[in-house]
Structure 1
């Protein structure tokens, strides 16, 4: 076990190391998740990650509306 000055130096070194790691990680999960939502519903403006999910959403939540052109060829 380190004692005295060694302990303080070790703690400072560890703090610097952790600060570098945190800086490298960058943004939080919220920013990453928001970037993954690429499609936005034309009617209710809710966001979806892919076209297939968007089509399912549109068919279930807006059955009376006509399907948007970008979703007509999605399986």
Structure 2
């Protein structure tokens, strides 16, 4: 078992390693969130839900809003 100065050095080293891991983990999570948010470019005109591509947007619109008329930009998109 470590005693005295060796124990303090070990604790400081472990705390520094843990802080570095937390910083790295937080950075990755923020980067992923920003990338995911940037990918959501299509916004539903009825419910304001965000979708990544027009095909998904059309499927959403047909399933969630069947009574509403399909927007012009979605009429061209084939499923």
Smaller-chain TM-score range? 0.5 to 0.7
Matched, 1:43 2:46: yes
TM superposition score normalised by structure 2: 0.63
Equivalent residues in 2 for 1:55-66, closer than 5 Å: 55-66=58-69
The residue that corresponds to 1:32 in the other structure is 35
Structure 1, unmatched stretches of 5+, are: 1-13
CA RMSD between the two structures: 2.8
Structure 2, unmatched stretches of 5+, are: 1-16
The residue that corresponds to 2:72 in the other structure is 69
TM superposition score normalised by structure 1: 0.66
The residue that corresponds to 1:53 in the other structure is 56
